[in-house]
């Protein structure tokens, strides 16, 4: 017997013994050498030999000897030609047409193509919001939370308590729409703070905004359907609509938010409009009251739904948070999407939809088929976090600290760039936009690379346009930075761009 040198030792011993059986050197009913003998012959430990025997037993190649110690070769063996191979790595190349060029369904092909296209606009190899490299000292890349302010010990305690006291129902499959405790906590908050009278039965817990967008699109958008988007726009939403094969129609954003189109006669109607009214991504504009009304009236006329993505609108610095647009909608055509990625942290992957009644069943059915529901312990810990008042306290505290960071950023940009820069979108959220005078737009990575060499991480605004803008702007997130680092980062950036 010889070992073939491939893979784990006990698997090599298993194959060596199996080779003896399949080659006929050990025949049915014949006694198999003891583990002690095999270990000695192959120079392996007795435990390694034992593991190999256990596998042969489990697979039925050998059986215990009736009424006596030891093992014998099984009476029935596989047909001639059976070969025991080393376990193949799943990613190792395999011969055959399927592996070389699998034929994807049209929808699979669209998901691949839209992820590739969106990754290319962001300048990343694959579609992912993971920010790399992490070593940039002055990291203003938008979308990041105030990680340093998180009451992490408290969060850990709530999570531990839920894990410790888990009942069977908490460990079993849960409702695909999400745990009632969390839906009720969210409904109470929305009623009190966002002017949204949400029925917990119309709330569906999802794995972040991205899943909300995917579910809504699957349920409502057919290939070729028109979807209205802001220009510039959020890539995550664009990606979901592209994957559905939608025709994207971009409408420009100015200081009052998206310009509401007049109903286009003759063409196919719109199915969906996607907007970020509280703090437009990426310009930071707030959708005016008048345009909110016009957008809802437009959607009602078109027979379209509006997705209100309220990703960071709860941070508002110059006055109380605005009422959610969904609260103004008497027509029942607005879908509200909230997330915990910005106020808490994105790795939670927890968000929610507030749906018009007729969409509840379709969305819950789709969620049930997609993933049978969101992890329960996280939902329960978050429900406690909200119900015990920690969420509101954390929001109040971080609104103050984020306001100080924003103030430091605006002052630093003014001081370093003067009239070469115009700041906008600073009234809410966790990032602002700085338009740079005298720099041509459309050069996506130019400013980005200069900044990176100076130790400053940022995004330019260009990738968020379908048609590159004529001027260049930079998006600066401020939540995870200390004011002193903000000042130093902007000093370096201004020096590098001079
Ligand atoms: C416009 C917009 N919506 C939503 C999100 C959050 O997405 P998620 O809830 O999937 O983390 C982001 C994150 O940067 C965003 O910019």
Atom of ligand 1 nearest to the CA of 340: 9
Atom 2 in ligand 1: residue holding the nearest Cα: 311
Residue 83 predicted with pLDDT over 80: no
Q: Which of 146, 209, 235 best tests ligand 1's pocket when mutated (most atoms within 8 Å of CB)?
A: 209
**Residue minimizing CA distance to atom 3 of ligand 1:** 311
The atom number, within ligand 1, closest to the CA of 276 reads 1
Q: What is d(CA 215, CA 177) in angstroms, rounded to the nearest whole number?
A: 12
Confidence of residue 440 (pLDDT cuts 50, 70, 90): low
Containing 230, the helix (H) or strand (E) segment is strand 226-231
| Rounded CA separation 356/306 (Å) | 11
**Mean pLDDT throughout 203-214?**
98
> Quick one: 324 exposed, middle or buried, by C-beta within 10 A (0-12, 13-18, 19+)?
buried
CA 239, CA 221: separation in Å to the nearest integer? Answer: 13
234, 284, 337: which to mutate for ligand 1, most atoms within 8 A of CB? 234
Nearest atom within ligand 1 for CA of residue 142: 14
**Structure tokens, 394:** 């954390």
* Alpha carbon distances (Å) from 200 to 32, 121, 308, 436: 65, 38, 18, 45
Indicate the top mutation candidate among 145, 236, 459 to test ligand 1's pocket, ranked by most ligand atoms within 8 A of CB: 236
HSE-up of residue 457 (Cα within 13 Å, Cβ side): 19
Residue nearest to atom 14 of ligand 1 (CA): 143
Q: Which CATH number fits domain 111-120+150-392: 3.40.250.10, 3.40.50.1100, 3.30.1950.10, 3.40.640.10?
A: 3.40.640.10
The alpha-helical segments, DSSP class H, found in 8-132 are 9-22, 35-42, 46-58, 97-100, 106-122
**What's CA 365's distance to the chain center, in Å?**
21
Residue 266, SS3?
Answer: coil
Alpha helices in 225-375 (DSSP H): 235-243, 289-302, 357-371
Among 264-278, 352-366, 484-498, name the one with the lowest average pLDDT: 264-278
Q: What is the mean pLDDT of residues 137-164?
A: 94
Ligand 1 atom showing the smallest separation from residue 210 Cα: 10
Q: Give the span between the Cα atoms of 486 and 137, in whole angstroms.
A: 10
CB atoms near residue 54 (< 10 Å): 13
Q: Would you state the structure tokens that stand for residue 167, as one six-digit string?
A: 């009942």
Residues 6+ apart with CB under 8 A from 485: 137, 138
In this predicted model, what pLDDT tens digit does every residue of 299-339 receive, in sequence order?
A: 999 999 999 999 998 999 987 778 899 999 999 999 999 99
User: What number of CA atoms fall less than 13 Å from residue 404's CA on the CB side?
Assistant: 12
Q: At what angle do helices 9-22 and 46-58 cross, to 10 degrees?
A: 50
| Bridge partners (DSSP) listed for residue 252 | 231
**From the CA of 164, how far away is ligand 1's center (Å)?**
32
Ligand 1 residue neighbourhood (C-beta within 6 Å) = 143, 208-210, 234, 276, 281, 309, 311, 339, 341, 346, 351
pTM, full prediction: 0.84
Is the Cβ–Cβ distance between 279 and 430 less than 8 Å?
Answer: no
Q: How far is the CA of 490 from the centre of ligand 1 (A)?
A: 25
**How remote is the CA of residue 415 from the centroid of ligand 1, in Å?**
31
The predicted pLDDT at position 340 comes to 97
The per-residue pLDDT for 133 is: 62
- Which helix (H) or strand (E) covers residue 433, if one does? strand 431-440
Distance 208 CA to ligand 1 centre (A): 8
- Least confident piece of the model among 150-164, 264-278, 283-297, 355-369: 264-278
Fold of the 9-73 domain: Arc Repressor Mutant, subunit A (1.10.10)
Residue 265, pLDDT above cutoff 70: no
Mean pLDDT of the chain, nearest integer: 91
Nearest CA residue ID for atom 15, ligand 1: 311
- Taking the CA of residue 212 as reference, the ligand 1 atom at the shortest distance is 10
Does the N-terminal peptide bond of residue 133 adopt cis geometry, omega within 30 degrees of 0? yes
The class (CATH top level) of 133-142+400-497 is alpha beta
Is residue 308 classed as helix, strand or coil in its secondary structure?
Answer: strand
Of 96, 116, 120, 119, the residue nearest 108 (C-alpha)? 116
Residues 284, 426: contact at Cβ < 8 Å?
yes
Between residues 24 and 202, the one the model is more confident about: 202
Place of tokens 């969906």: 272
Report the SS3 class of residue 169.
helix
Decide if pLDDT at 442 tops 70: no
Distance 209 CA to ligand 1 centre (A): 6
What letter would DSSP give residue 94?
Answer: -
**Distance from first CA to last CA of the chain, Å, rounded?**
74
Task: Give the CA dihedral 117, 123, 126, 129, nearest 10 degrees.
Answer: -110
Q: Which residues contact 472 (CB under 8 A, 6 or more apart)?
A: 435, 436, 439, 440, 441, 443, 446, 447, 460, 461, 462
Report the nearest atom of ligand 1 relative to the CA of 143: 14
Among protein residues, the one whose CA lies closest to atom 7 of ligand 1: 209
Provide the pLDDT confidence category of residue 94 given band limits of 50, 70 and 90.
Answer: low
Closest alpha carbon to 449 in 474, 415, 483: 474
d(CA 498, CA 488): 15
- At residue 472, the pLDDT reads 86
In the chain, % of residues over pLDDT 90: 68
371-423 per-position pLDDT tens digit: 999 999 999 999 999 999 999 999 999 999 999 999 999 999 999 999 999 99
pLDDT at 80 over 80: no
Best mutation site among 231, 342, 459, 463 for ligand 1, i.e. most ligand atoms within 8 A of its Cβ?
Answer: 342
Give which of 419, 424, 449 is closest to 437, Cα–Cα.
419
Q: How do strand 459-460 and strand 71-73 relate by DSSP bridges?
A: unpaired
Contacts of 312 (CB under 8 A, 6+ apart): 278, 279, 342, 343, 428, 429, 430
Q: What is the mean pLDDT of residues 173-182?
A: 97
Q: Which of 123-132, 139-148, 293-302, 476-485 has the lowest mean pLDDT?
A: 123-132
Least confident span in 71-85, 198-212, 281-295, 364-378: 71-85
167, 376 in Cβ contact below 8 A? no
Q: Model confidence at 444, in pLDDT bands (50, 70, 90)?
A: very low
Residues 1-45 have pLDDT tens digits of: 889 888 889 989 999 888 888 888 899 889 999 999 999 999 999
CA-based nearest residue to 138, from 473, 496, 453, 455: 455
Q: Can you tell me the distance from the alpha carbon of 237 to that of 351, in angstroms, rounded to the nearest whole number?
A: 15
Q: What share of the chain is helix, strand, coil (3-state, %, to 5)?
A: 45, 15, 40
Contact 244, 223 (CB under 8 A): yes
| pLDDT value of position 336 | 98
* Structure tokens that stand for 409 in this block: 């950023």
Question: Closest ligand 1 atom, CA of 309?
Answer: 3
Ligand 1 atom closest to Cα of 234? 1
Please name every residue paired with 274 in a beta bridge, in sequence order, or none if there are none. 229, 307
Domain ranges of the chain: 9-73, 111-120+150-392, 133-142+400-497
- The pLDDT-based confidence of 205 (bands split at 50, 70, 90) is very high
């Amino acid at each position: 017997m010889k070992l073939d040198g491939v893979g784990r030792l006990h698997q090599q011993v298993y194959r060596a013994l199996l080779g003896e059986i399949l080659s006929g050197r050990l025949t049915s009913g014949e006694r198999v050498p003891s583990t002690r003998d095999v270990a000695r012959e192959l120079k392996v430990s007795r435990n390694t030999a034992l593991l190999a025997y256990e596998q042969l037993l489990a697979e039925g190649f050998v059986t215990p000897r009736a009424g006596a110690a030891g093992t014998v070769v099984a009476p029935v063996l596989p047909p001639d030609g059976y070969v025991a191979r080393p376990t193949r790595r799943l990613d190792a190349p395999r011969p055959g047409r399927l592996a070389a060029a699998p034929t994807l369904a049209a929808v699979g092909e669209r998901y691949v193509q839209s992820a590739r296209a969106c990754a290319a606009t962001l300048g990343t190899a694959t579609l992912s919001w993971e920010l790399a490299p992490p070593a940039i000292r002055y990291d203003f890349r938008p979308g990041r939370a105030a990680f340093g302010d998180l009451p992490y010990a408290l969060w850990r305690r709530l999570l531990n308590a839920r894990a410790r006291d888990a009942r069977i129902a908490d460990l079993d499959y849960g409702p695909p729409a999400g745990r009632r405790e969390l839906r009720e906590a969210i409904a109470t908050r929305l009623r009190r703070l966002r002017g949204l009278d949400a029925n917990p039965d119309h709330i569906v817990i999802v794995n972040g905004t991205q899943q909300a967008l995917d579910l809504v699109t699957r349920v409502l958008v057919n290939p070729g359907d028109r979807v209205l988007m802001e220009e510039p726009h959020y890539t995550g939403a664009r990606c979901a609509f592209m994957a559905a094969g939608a025709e994207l129609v971009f409408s420009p954003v100015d200081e009052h938010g998206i310009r509401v189109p007049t109903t286009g006669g003759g063409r196919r109607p719109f199915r969906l409009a996607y907007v970020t009214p509280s703090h437009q991504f990426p310009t930071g504009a707030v959708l005016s009251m008048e345009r909110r009304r016009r957008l809802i009236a437009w959607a009602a006329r078109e027979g379209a739904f509006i997705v209100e993505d309220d990703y960071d609108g709860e941070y508002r610095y110059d006055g109380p948070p605005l009422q959610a647009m969904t609260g103004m909608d008497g027509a029942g055509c607005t879908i509200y999407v909230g997330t915990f990625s910005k106020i808490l942290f994105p790795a939670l992957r927890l968000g929610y939809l507030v749906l018009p009644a007729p969409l509840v069943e379709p969305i819950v059915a789709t969620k049930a088929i997609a993933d049978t529901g969101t992890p329960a312990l996280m939902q329960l810990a978050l429900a406690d976090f909200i119900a015990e008042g920690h969420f509101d306290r954390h929001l109040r505290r971080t609104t103050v600290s984020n306001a100080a960071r924003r103030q430091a950023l605006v002052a630093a940009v003014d001081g370093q760039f003067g009239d070469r820069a115009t700041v906008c979108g600073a009234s809410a959220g966790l990032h602002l936009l700085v338009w740079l005078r005298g720099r041509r737009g459309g050069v996506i990575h130019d400013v980005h690379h200069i900044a990176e060499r100076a130790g400053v991480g940022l995004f330019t605004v260009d990738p968020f346009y379908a048609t590159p803008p004529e001027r260049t702007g930079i998006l600066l997130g401020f939540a995870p930075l200390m004011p002193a680092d903000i000042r130093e980062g902007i000093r370096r950036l201004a020096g590098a761009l001079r």
